Chain A
Amino acid sequence: MTLGGYRVDNEAPHINVTHLSVAYRDQRILKDVSMTVPGGRVLAVIGPSGCGKSTLLRVFNRLVDRVSGVHIKGQVQVGNFEVIGDHVDLVELRQKVGMVFQHPNPFPFSVFDNVAYGPRLQGVKNSNRLRLLVENSLKQASLWDEVRGKLRRPASSLSGGQQQRLCIARALAVSPQVLLMDEPTSALDPLSTAKIEELVLALKGRYTVILVTHNLQQAARVSDFTAFFREGHLVELGPTKEVFTTPRRSATEEFLTGRYE
């Protein structure tokens, strides 16, 4: 299915990570991580601060490159797309792999122009196509009903929760296959958090979602799989309901039961 010349019903790809190590100068952040994220599923990444989970997220869209002195070793594939390497087209990668950050960061434009920003960069000029794309993205982000008729208002006039869903709509507007979410609700109230969580559940199947969160209950509520990281190592990755009830590794047990020191 296409909309405005863009594919909107994409095949969510598997993500394969093979022997991934990341270091900043001589500090090793991720140590020989290998894992597979099944396509269309939600993976929650949990672990204590400094375990490498945010770095992992930033490898998937190569945002990690922006840190000086970073050194990446290993392989990461999003579907058939090689993520690591000198000749990777970062624009193409970031079109495939969208990201939502901890704090909502709408551009200082209108609601409409925020969502239309990516498609416009990609060359969509037809106003009807743009309107359809914006509407479709806002619907997917469960924001359409709240902002229809207010599309010309500044994005900053929206509540924090609405702004975060706007950022998700903006990410979806360029038809990504993967959505990275870095603590997407840590700045939101419980009601807005619930809406984002519902949204993640609704996006399941169409996108491969990787969610970094400190909120263990959130990981339990929305994810299919959970990966526990500690000190740069992937300790355990398994179906969420198993990891949260009967973890296989004692380090995971210690973390989940608050005994980790």
Chain B
Amino acid sequence: MLRQSFRAELQQLDQELIRMGALVEDQIRRAVKSLTERNVTLADMVIADDDRVDAMEIDIERRCLTLLALQQPLAGDLRIVSTILKIITDLERMADHAADIAEVTVRLGQEPLVKPLVDIPEMARLSSSMVRLALNAYIHRSLEEAVTMIRLDDDVDHLYSRIFDDLQGLMQDRPETVPQAIHLLFVANYIERVADHATNLGEWVIYMVTGERKELND
């Protein structure tokens, strides 16, 4: 078996990527939980843990660059390493959005919610499951799984426009809700961005498998 050390390093990178993905998924889940449960302590933890995600990104990036410099991978191997480099950037951005949501929790403090949160947690659940499905597609090198997970973005977009309409109606009917509704609108937007980044992950997996770059969400 040739290039065993390269394969071994790639396997380790896969593990690290899965760990980073799991952490990001957890960050999104906990950020939205902190908002629905008005748990500022949990929000602070999410904000603090963003540094862990950043550190993981830097570590994986460094290892990818070392692999590129020392092993000079080509063809499918080159696509794997460049896919990892792109995926970690998207994961890091998603974690930033989770921290943004946690910031909203902190800002709102114990202020009563202007409406019960139903669609926002559902949107977050969908978006974070997209992250997991995208990483599964990466690990399985599966074009089919990547294409399937990207379709979930339509559901997220649908929820987003519903939340948008709801909050807009609320602000028109009850102008006193505007300050908080704007925050919630931002939260919905952050989650929508998370789903877009997850879609990017799927697109990178498609590139890794087929060598073709396709923009599937527009």
Measuring CB to CB, which residues of chain A are less than 8 angstroms from any residue of chain B?
216-217, 220, 244-247, 252-253, 256-261
**Known A-B contacts A245-B79, A246-B79, A246-B211; A257 and B72 likewise in contact (beta carbons under 8 Å):** no
Any A CB within 8 A of the CB of B174: no
A257–B74 contact, CB under 8 A?
Answer: yes
Chain A CB within 10 A, most for which of B2, B75, B77: B75
Shortest C-beta distance, B82 to chain A (Å), equals 9
Instruction: Enumerate chain A residues within 8 angstroms of B3, measured Cβ to Cβ.
Output: 257-259
Instruction: Enumerate chain A residues within 8 angstroms of B2, measured Cβ to Cβ.
Output: 258-261
23 A-B residue pairs with Cβ-Cβ distance under 8 Å, sorted by A, are A216-B72, A216-B74, A220-B74, A244-B78, A245-B79, A245-B211, A246-B210, A246-B212, A247-B75, A252-B75, A253-B75, A256-B74, A256-B75, A257-B3, A257-B74, A257-B75, A257-B76, A257-B77, A258-B6, A259-B2, A259-B3, A260-B2, A261-B2
Shortest C-beta distance, B163 to chain A (Å), equals 40
The size bracket of the interface on B is 10 to 19
Instruction: Name which residue of chain A comes closest to B4, CB basis.
Output: A258
Instruction: Name which residue of chain A comes closest to B2, CB basis.
Output: A258
Q: Which of B54-83 contact A (CB under 8 A)?
A: 72-79
- Whole-angstrom CA separation of A252 from B76 in the bound complex: 10
B211–A244 contact, CB under 8 A?
Answer: no
Chain A CB within 10 A, most for which of B2, B73, B76: B76
Chain A CB within 10 A, most for which of B2, B3, B74: B74
Shortest C-beta distance, B152 to chain A (Å), equals 27
Instruction: Enumerate chain A residues within 8 angstroms of B74, measured Cβ to Cβ.
Output: 216, 220, 244-245, 256-257
Give the 8 A-B residue pairs with the shortest CB-CB distance, closest first: A246-B211, A258-B3, A256-B74, A256-B75, A258-B2, A257-B77, A253-B75, A247-B75
The contact of A217 among B72, B75, B77, by CB within 8 Å, is: B72
Shortest C-beta distance, B114 to chain A (Å), equals 52
Instruction: Enumerate chain B residues within 8 angstroms of A247, measured Cβ to Cβ.
Output: 75
- Whole-angstrom CA separation of A246 from B80 in the bound complex: 12
- Whole-angstrom CA separation of A247 from B78 in the bound complex: 11
Instruction: Name which residue of chain A comes closest to B71, CB basis.
Output: A258
Q: Which of B85-106 contact A (CB under 8 A)?
A: none
A246–B72 contact, CB under 8 A?
Answer: no
Instruction: Enumerate chain B residues within 8 angstroms of A252, measured Cβ to Cβ.
Output: 75
- Whole-angstrom CA separation of A257 from B211 in the bound complex: 15
A245–B72 contact, CB under 8 A?
Answer: no
Shortest C-beta distance, B181 to chain A (Å), equals 48
5 additional A-B pairs beyond A245-B75, A246-B79, beta carbons within 8 Å, are A245-B79, A245-B211, A257-B76, A258-B3, A259-B3
Instruction: Name which residue of chain B comes closest to A248, CB basis.
Output: B211
The contact of A244 among B75, B210, B212, by CB within 8 Å, is: B75
- Whole-angstrom CA separation of A189 from B158 in the bound complex: 61
Instruction: Name which residue of chain B comes closest to A217, CB basis.
Output: B72
Shortest C-beta distance, B137 to chain A (Å), equals 19
- Whole-angstrom CA separation of A257 from B6 in the bound complex: 10
Instruction: Name which residue of chain B comes closest to A244, CB basis.
Output: B74
Instruction: Enumerate chain B residues within 8 angstroms of A253, measured Cβ to Cβ.
Output: 75-76
Instruction: Enumerate chain B residues within 8 angstroms of A244, measured Cβ to Cβ.
Output: 74-75, 78
- Whole-angstrom CA separation of A245 from B79 in the bound complex: 7
Instruction: Enumerate chain B residues within 8 angstroms of A220, measured Cβ to Cβ.
Output: 74
- Whole-angstrom CA separation of A217 from B74 in the bound complex: 9
Instruction: Enumerate chain A residues within 8 angstroms of B76, measured Cβ to Cβ.
Output: 253, 257
- Whole-angstrom CA separation of A114 from B74 in the bound complex: 40
Convert B1-25 into 0s and 1s, putting 1 for each residue whose CB lies closer than 8 angstroms to a CB of A: 0110010000000000000000000
Instruction: Enumerate chain B residues within 8 angstroms of A256, measured Cβ to Cβ.
Output: 74-75, 77
Shortest C-beta distance, A171 to chain B (Å), equals 30
Convert B188-218 into 0s and 1s, putting 1 for each residue whose CB lies closer than 8 angstroms to a CB of A: 0000000000000000000000111000000
- Whole-angstrom CA separation of A89 from B77 in the bound complex: 47
- Whole-angstrom CA separation of A261 from B211 in the bound complex: 24
Instruction: Enumerate chain B residues within 8 angstroms of A246, measured Cβ to Cβ.
Output: 75, 79, 210-212
